[in-house]
Structure 1
Amino acid sequence: MDWPIALKDLIREFITLFVVIDPVGSIPVFLFASAAVPRRLHMSFALRATLVAALVLGLFLVVGQIVLEGMGLRLGAFQIAGGIVLFLFALSMIFGETKAASEIKEAEHTDLSGAVFPLAIPSIASPGAILAVVILTDNHKTGVVEQAMTAGVLVLVLGITFLLLLLASQIQRLIGQTGVSVISRVMGLILATVAVDAVLEGLEQMGILALSAAPV
């Protein structure tokens, strides 16, 4: 394994997963969902949400591609479709309501089931995050070691998410709703770049586009 290349890939995966999971954007959702929960139970509330999200994302990381190929679908096509969806998701982060605002509005008209909705799903384990974990673990290009490393990056991002949820009240007071909105929109811009790259990789994998490395 070429460790400089592997490290570069891990950093890219960390940025991708951090952006699509958007731990900062989940802070207002956590504060809303836990409003009626005693403060002494906030840690277990945040832990439950993080574990449920980890279970969902881990499931797609392990069997997502297997299910796709069992349906006769190529990963390249999924990468293109997933990249387009991620790009639209990024545009909504940049120009639309913030993630927290849209999810809280939806939850206000729904019977909340503890930390599962809207915190674990769709705030942490968002459709974008589910797409990302499938795209990042191509069974034909990455071995068990590389996929285990991707899983480790996912655990790291979820660990950071859990810590930020525990500090949600302090962070909200520090940066305010405006700060959360600004960070969410910056992450949307990064996600748009990641989405375009995913589409290009999908086109290359299907033989539609030939990408050549720039000369050093």
Structure 2
Amino acid sequence: MNAYVDITLLMTTFLTLFVIMDPPGLVPVYLALTSTQTSKQRKKAAFQATITSLGVMATFTVFGQYILNFLQISLPALQVSGGLLLLIVAMELLAGKDGSGDAEGATKQNVALVPLATPLMAGPGSIVAIMVAWQRAPDGISSWTAIGIALIAIHLVLWLSMRFADIIHRVLGTDGTLLVTRLAGMLLAAIAVEILASGIFSYIAAHQ
């Protein structure tokens, strides 16, 4: 098994992504963003968000540095932009907008893609982490396989956390979900500020 999969790299990559992507912490935000949707719509949103995030992360794993170099974008700039986007979403949640709206609004804005898939799941932190893991990993099939398995495994955990959040939604009811929405907005705002601050300080340090 070790000849085909670097177990140590697999575990360290998975645990790093787990801490950054925070599947348990995603649940209240997911409930808030999909609070007005039906159970079927929430399940579809969870699947779409997971597949989209996996695609984005896989792309940046292999081609991320080339993409950033081609567009002349630094990693700190990516962090700041992701933090700003999350902050806007947090303000909408605190203001009572869940991001899904009515049927017409849902058509115009698919919350499964933005902000669930990116930047909540495939955000600046997770993208940077997987890019660094790929660049630092020794060349060879065992390293590439380990990172690939870790990437798929963390997205399976993310999907499961959203899939069973539907049960939590039924238990909470309308009032409980409204409370979760406000709390999620505050938590998301705090996460956004952390990402913004980290990106700004990194940008300043890189240009000194």
Q: Into which bin does the TM-score normalised by the smaller protein fall?
A: 0.5 to 0.7
2:121 maps to 1:136: no
Question: Aligned-pair distance for 1:58?
Answer: 1.2
RMSD: 4.1
Question: Aligned-pair distance for 1:164?
Answer: 0.4
Q: C-alpha separation between the residues in 1 aligned to 2:57 and 2:170?
A: 32
Q: Per the alignment, do residues 149 and 108 of structure 1 end up closer, same or farther by CA in structure 2, a change over 3 Å counting?
A: same
Question: Aligned-pair distance for 1:112?
Answer: 3.2
Q: Contact conserved, 1:29 with 1:103, CA < 8 A, in 2?
A: yes
Unmatched runs of 5 consecutive residues or more in structure 2: 1-5, 138-142
Alignment of 1:1-216 (within 5 A): 10-18=14-22, 22-34=26-38, 42=39, 44-71=40-67, 73=69, 77-92=73-88, 96-98=91-93, 101=97, 103-105=99-101, 109-110=104-105, 112=107, 118-132=110-124, 133-138=126-131, 139-142=134-137, 143-144=143-144, 145-173=146-174, 175-197=176-198, 208=206
Q: Which has the higher helix share?
A: 2
Q: Contact conserved, 2:32 with 2:98, CA < 8 A, in 1?
A: no
Q: C-alpha separation between the residues in 2 aligned to 1:93 and 1:209?
A: 29
| Code of the aligned partner of 1:25 | V
So what's the TM-score if we normalise by structure 2? 0.67
User: In the TM superposition, what whole-angstrom CA distance separates every residue of 1:143-189 from its partner, at most 9, and x where no partner exists?
Assistant: 43245324322321221011103432323457341332123312431
| Code of the aligned partner of 1:131 | G
Q: C-alpha separation between the residues in 1 aligned to 2:199 and 2:15?
A: 16
So what's the TM-score if we normalise by structure 1? 0.65
| Code of the aligned partner of 1:122 | V
Unmatched runs of 5 consecutive residues or more in structure 1: 35-41, 211-216
Q: Contact conserved, 1:90 with 1:188, CA < 8 A, in 2?
A: yes
Q: C-alpha separation between the residues in 2 aligned to 1:194 and 1:69?
A: 20
* 4+ residue runs over 6 A deviation: 201-204
